[in-house]
Amino acid sequence: MAKKNDAIESMPSVKNKKRVWLLIALSTIGLSLLAGGTYFYLTQNTIIETTDASDASNSPETSEAIDSTNASDASNSPETSEAIDSTVIQSKSSEFFNSKSEPEIGDLIFYELEENIITVLAETDYEMQVRLALFTFYGSSMVDAIIEQEAELNIRLRRRLSEVSEDDFISRDFRITIENELSITANEFFSGKDIFAGIDSILFTEFSVN
Protein backbone atom coordinates (compact mmCIF):
# COMPACT_ATOMS: atom_id res chain seq x y z
CA MET A 1 0.00 0.00 0.00
CA ALA A 2 2.85 2.37 0.76
CA LYS A 3 4.48 1.70 -2.65
CA LYS A 4 1.24 2.51 -4.46
CA ASN A 5 0.97 5.80 -2.67
CA ASP A 6 4.57 6.67 -3.52
CA ALA A 7 3.88 5.97 -7.22
CA ILE A 8 0.80 8.16 -7.15
CA GLU A 9 2.69 10.97 -5.43
CA SER A 10 5.47 10.82 -8.09
CA MET A 11 3.07 11.16 -11.09
CA PRO A 12 2.61 14.98 -10.93
CA SER A 13 6.38 15.35 -11.03
CA VAL A 14 6.66 13.36 -14.28
CA LYS A 15 3.85 15.39 -15.89
CA ASN A 16 5.57 18.64 -14.96
CA LYS A 17 8.78 17.48 -16.61
CA LYS A 18 6.92 16.63 -19.84
CA ARG A 19 5.33 20.09 -19.89
CA VAL A 20 8.73 21.75 -19.51
CA TRP A 21 10.20 19.78 -22.41
CA LEU A 22 7.15 20.52 -24.56
CA LEU A 23 7.51 24.26 -23.91
CA ILE A 24 11.21 24.13 -24.76
CA ALA A 25 10.48 22.28 -28.01
CA LEU A 26 7.77 24.74 -29.01
CA SER A 27 10.01 27.70 -28.18
CA THR A 28 12.82 26.26 -30.28
CA ILE A 29 10.50 25.71 -33.23
CA GLY A 30 9.12 29.26 -32.90
CA LEU A 31 12.58 30.81 -32.80
CA SER A 32 13.64 28.79 -35.84
CA LEU A 33 10.59 29.95 -37.80
CA LEU A 34 11.19 33.55 -36.77
CA ALA A 35 14.85 33.41 -37.80
CA GLY A 36 13.95 31.82 -41.12
CA GLY A 37 11.35 34.45 -41.84
CA THR A 38 13.74 37.26 -41.00
CA TYR A 39 16.47 35.80 -43.22
CA PHE A 40 14.02 35.35 -46.13
CA TYR A 41 12.83 38.95 -45.77
CA LEU A 42 16.31 40.42 -45.72
CA THR A 43 17.46 38.26 -48.64
CA GLN A 44 14.50 39.24 -50.80
CA ASN A 45 15.04 42.97 -50.11
CA THR A 46 18.72 42.69 -51.03
CA ILE A 47 17.88 40.92 -54.31
CA ILE A 48 15.22 43.50 -55.15
CA GLU A 49 17.56 46.43 -54.43
CA THR A 50 20.33 44.85 -56.51
CA THR A 51 17.94 44.22 -59.40
CA ASP A 52 16.60 47.78 -59.24
CA ALA A 53 20.14 49.19 -59.28
CA SER A 54 21.05 47.02 -62.26
CA ASP A 55 17.89 48.08 -64.14
CA ALA A 56 18.59 51.72 -63.38
CA SER A 57 22.13 51.49 -64.72
CA ASN A 58 20.82 49.94 -67.96
CA SER A 59 18.00 52.45 -68.44
CA PRO A 60 18.09 54.83 -71.46
CA GLU A 61 18.23 57.85 -69.15
CA THR A 62 21.30 56.51 -67.33
CA SER A 63 23.00 55.58 -70.61
CA GLU A 64 22.37 59.06 -71.97
CA ALA A 65 23.78 60.60 -68.79
CA ILE A 66 26.91 58.42 -69.04
CA ASP A 67 27.35 59.25 -72.74
CA SER A 68 26.93 62.95 -71.95
CA THR A 69 29.58 62.75 -69.24
CA ASN A 70 31.98 60.89 -71.53
CA ALA A 71 31.38 63.41 -74.30
CA SER A 72 32.04 66.25 -71.90
CA ASP A 73 35.28 64.63 -70.74
CA ALA A 74 36.34 64.07 -74.34
CA SER A 75 35.63 67.68 -75.28
CA ASN A 76 37.80 68.84 -72.41
CA SER A 77 40.73 66.55 -73.25
CA PRO A 78 44.02 68.18 -74.39
CA GLU A 79 43.84 66.48 -77.82
CA THR A 80 40.34 67.85 -78.51
CA SER A 81 41.28 71.32 -77.27
CA GLU A 82 44.32 71.36 -79.55
CA ALA A 83 42.19 70.25 -82.52
CA ILE A 84 39.64 73.00 -81.83
CA ASP A 85 42.35 75.62 -81.42
CA SER A 86 43.98 74.48 -84.67
CA THR A 87 40.66 74.76 -86.54
CA VAL A 88 40.03 78.27 -85.21
CA ILE A 89 43.53 79.42 -86.18
CA GLN A 90 43.23 77.93 -89.65
CA SER A 91 39.83 79.54 -90.26
CA LYS A 92 41.22 82.97 -89.30
CA SER A 93 44.42 82.72 -91.37
CA SER A 94 42.80 84.42 -94.36
CA GLU A 95 39.20 85.35 -95.04
CA PHE A 96 39.93 85.10 -98.77
CA PHE A 97 40.54 81.36 -98.87
CA ASN A 98 37.63 79.21 -100.01
CA SER A 99 35.49 82.32 -100.43
CA LYS A 100 34.84 84.45 -103.51
CA SER A 101 32.44 86.82 -101.77
CA GLU A 102 33.74 90.38 -101.57
CA PRO A 103 35.22 91.22 -98.15
CA GLU A 104 35.10 94.66 -96.57
CA ILE A 105 36.91 97.39 -98.50
CA GLY A 106 39.58 99.35 -96.64
CA ASP A 107 42.50 101.64 -97.44
CA LEU A 108 44.67 101.06 -100.49
CA ILE A 109 47.84 99.17 -99.51
CA PHE A 110 50.50 97.42 -101.55
CA TYR A 111 52.87 94.49 -101.32
CA GLU A 112 56.11 94.35 -103.29
CA LEU A 113 57.10 90.89 -104.44
CA GLU A 114 60.34 89.73 -102.86
CA GLU A 115 62.00 88.51 -106.05
CA ASN A 116 62.60 90.26 -109.35
CA ILE A 117 61.05 88.63 -112.39
CA ILE A 118 63.55 88.00 -115.15
CA THR A 119 62.46 86.89 -118.62
CA VAL A 120 63.29 87.35 -122.31
CA LEU A 121 61.17 89.34 -124.74
CA ALA A 122 59.39 87.04 -127.17
CA GLU A 123 61.47 86.16 -130.28
CA THR A 124 64.38 88.36 -129.18
CA ASP A 125 67.55 88.16 -127.13
CA TYR A 126 66.56 91.08 -124.92
CA GLU A 127 66.40 90.28 -121.24
CA MET A 128 63.74 92.06 -119.23
CA GLN A 129 63.98 92.41 -115.48
CA VAL A 130 61.13 93.87 -113.42
CA ARG A 131 60.07 94.26 -109.80
CA LEU A 132 56.34 94.35 -109.16
CA ALA A 133 54.12 95.85 -106.46
CA LEU A 134 50.55 94.59 -106.05
CA PHE A 135 47.95 97.09 -104.78
CA THR A 136 44.71 96.13 -103.03
CA PHE A 137 41.86 97.76 -101.10
CA TYR A 138 41.22 94.60 -99.11
CA GLY A 139 43.68 94.93 -96.27
CA SER A 140 46.21 92.63 -94.68
CA SER A 141 44.17 89.50 -95.38
CA MET A 142 44.65 89.99 -99.11
CA VAL A 143 48.37 90.62 -98.53
CA ASP A 144 48.52 87.37 -96.54
CA ALA A 145 46.95 85.56 -99.48
CA ILE A 146 49.54 87.06 -101.86
CA ILE A 147 52.42 86.01 -99.59
CA GLU A 148 51.11 82.46 -99.24
CA GLN A 149 50.81 82.09 -103.02
CA GLU A 150 53.80 84.26 -104.00
CA ALA A 151 56.04 81.55 -105.50
CA GLU A 152 53.34 80.23 -107.82
CA LEU A 153 52.10 83.74 -108.61
CA ASN A 154 55.62 84.71 -109.72
CA ILE A 155 55.65 81.85 -112.21
CA ARG A 156 52.31 82.95 -113.67
CA LEU A 157 53.39 86.59 -114.00
CA ARG A 158 56.73 85.59 -115.53
CA ARG A 159 54.91 83.50 -118.11
CA ARG A 160 52.77 86.49 -119.09
CA LEU A 161 55.80 88.79 -119.34
CA SER A 162 57.56 86.27 -121.58
CA GLU A 163 54.78 86.83 -124.14
CA VAL A 164 55.73 90.52 -124.53
CA SER A 165 57.18 91.12 -127.98
CA GLU A 166 59.60 93.78 -129.16
CA ASP A 167 56.75 95.66 -130.84
CA ASP A 168 54.82 95.66 -127.56
CA PHE A 169 57.86 96.95 -125.74
CA ILE A 170 58.47 99.93 -128.04
CA SER A 171 54.80 100.99 -128.08
CA ARG A 172 53.94 104.26 -126.32
CA ASP A 173 51.53 102.76 -123.78
CA PHE A 174 53.57 99.63 -123.11
CA ARG A 175 53.86 100.01 -119.33
CA ILE A 176 50.21 100.93 -118.80
CA THR A 177 49.06 98.08 -121.03
CA ILE A 178 51.28 95.38 -119.51
CA GLU A 179 50.55 96.49 -115.94
CA ASN A 180 46.81 96.17 -116.60
CA GLU A 181 47.31 92.74 -118.15
CA LEU A 182 49.41 91.61 -115.19
CA SER A 183 46.59 92.69 -112.85
CA ILE A 184 44.13 90.61 -114.86
CA THR A 185 46.54 87.65 -114.79
CA ALA A 186 46.95 87.91 -110.98
CA ASN A 187 43.20 88.08 -110.37
CA GLU A 188 42.59 85.10 -112.65
CA PHE A 189 45.25 83.23 -110.70
CA PHE A 190 43.58 83.96 -107.34
CA SER A 191 40.13 83.09 -108.67
CA GLY A 192 41.49 79.74 -109.82
CA LYS A 193 42.70 79.17 -106.24
CA ASP A 194 39.22 79.96 -104.89
CA ILE A 195 40.62 83.17 -103.38
CA PHE A 196 38.85 86.49 -103.77
CA ALA A 197 40.35 88.41 -106.72
CA GLY A 198 41.25 91.53 -104.79
CA ILE A 199 44.16 92.99 -106.81
CA ASP A 200 43.36 96.56 -107.80
CA SER A 201 46.52 97.19 -109.85
CA ILE A 202 50.12 96.08 -110.41
CA LEU A 203 52.89 98.61 -111.00
CA PHE A 204 56.57 98.33 -111.87
CA THR A 205 58.88 99.46 -109.08
CA GLU A 206 61.95 98.43 -111.10
CA PHE A 207 62.24 97.94 -114.83
CA SER A 208 65.14 97.33 -117.18
CA VAL A 209 65.80 95.72 -120.56
CA ASN A 210 69.27 94.64 -121.67
Confirm whether 69 is domain-assigned.
no
At 47, is the pLDDT very low, low, confident or very high (cuts 50, 70, 90)?
very low
Phi, psi of 93 (to 5 degrees): -60, -40
What confidence tens digit (pLDDT) does each residue in 130-167 have? 999 999 999 998 999 999 999 999 999 999 999 999 99
Say yes or no to pLDDT of 1 above 60. Answer: no
Phi-psi region of 174 (alpha: psi -120 to 50; beta: other; left: phi over 0): alpha
Alpha-carbon radius of gyration of the chain: 50
Say yes or no to pLDDT of 99 above 70. Answer: no
Same domain flag for 202 and 121: yes
Same domain flag for 53 and 117: no
Q: Is 130 exposed, middle or buried (0-12, 13-18, 19+ CB in 10 A)?
A: buried
Into how many domains does the chain fold?
Answer: 2
At 64, is the pLDDT very low, low, confident or very high (cuts 50, 70, 90)?
low
Can you give the pTM of this predicted structure? 0.54
Say yes or no to pLDDT of 118 above 70. Answer: yes
Instruction: Compare 37 and 75 and report the one with higher pLDDT.
Output: 37
Average pLDDT, the chain: 73
What helix, strand, coil percent values describe the chain, rounded to 5?
Answer: 65, 15, 20
| DSSP element (H, E) containing 119 | strand 117-120
Contacts of 124 (CB under 8 A, 6+ apart): 165, 166
Partners of 133 in the beta sheet? 112, 203
Say yes or no to pLDDT of 205 above 70. Answer: yes
CATH number, domain containing residue 192: 3.30.479.30
Full residue range of the structural domain in which residue 138 is found: 109-209
At 19, is the pLDDT very low, low, confident or very high (cuts 50, 70, 90)?
low
